[in-house]
Amino acid sequence: MKISLLKEENLSEAIELLRIGLLNSLGLSEVEKQAYLIYFENILKSKDHHYLKLQATEFKKLIGILIASESAGVKYLEWVCVHPEHRRNSVATKLIKTLEREAKKKGNHKVYLTVKPENRPAINLYQKLDYFQEAYLKRQWYKGDYVLMSKFLF
């Protein structure tokens, strides 16, 4: 498996993977799914260098994506998704470790993210990578509850 910056030629595969991941992500309402689909698709298409977009490939097939943004020295992990046939194979772990390496190189001292409390696979993943629950956000994005998890890099 290879992790690299998302390649332009993989954009449509990335949008398809985004759709698959969002539709079966745990705890998201229909409103959230549709809103995030548009939001993340726009980020994937964006040329804005403020976003870090990573891809995981195996034999040239796209099997995972990660999107992060940066603000005031802190990285926000916007979305990570692995193709259902390639899960539990450390793909997300490798994508997040690459994000952390890139963040450190830029001097970012912290990575944070929000996740639905029902999304146990994702919460387990972040805990395994030493993210801690920093807050519980009630009625946050689209009136849904979210857990805010963080990790200090420095």
Ligand X SMILES: CC(C)(COP(=O)(O)OP(=O)(O)OC[C@H]1O[C@@H](n2cnc3c(N)ncnc32)[C@H](O)[C@@H]1OP(=O)(O)O)[C@@H](O)C(=O)NCCC(=O)NCCS
Q: Which of 92, 99, 103, 149 binds ligand X (CB under 6 A)?
A: 92
Compute the least distance from the CB of residue 84 to ligand X, in Å. Answer: 8
> Quick check: 62 and 56 in contact, CB under 8 A?
yes
82 contacts ligand X (rule: CB under 6 A): yes
128 contacts ligand X (rule: CB under 6 A): yes
Say whether 44 sits in a helix, a strand or coil: helix
147 contacts ligand X (rule: CB under 6 A): no
Q: In this structure, are strands 51-58 and 146-152 parallel, antiparallel, or unpaired? A: unpaired
Find the binding residues for ligand X in span 36-65 (CB under 6 A).
Answer: none
33 contacts ligand X (rule: CB under 6 A): no
Q: Which of 6, 13, 18, 25 binds ligand X (CB under 6 A)?
A: 25
Q: 4-7: which pairs have CB atoms within 8 A and are 24 or more residues apart?
A: 4/54, 4/55, 4/57, 5/52, 5/53, 5/54, 5/55, 6/44, 6/53, 6/54, 6/55, 6/65, 7/55
133 contacts ligand X (rule: CB under 6 A): no
Q: Which residues bind ligand X (CB under 6 A)?
A: 21, 25, 80-82, 87-93, 115, 119-122, 124-125, 128
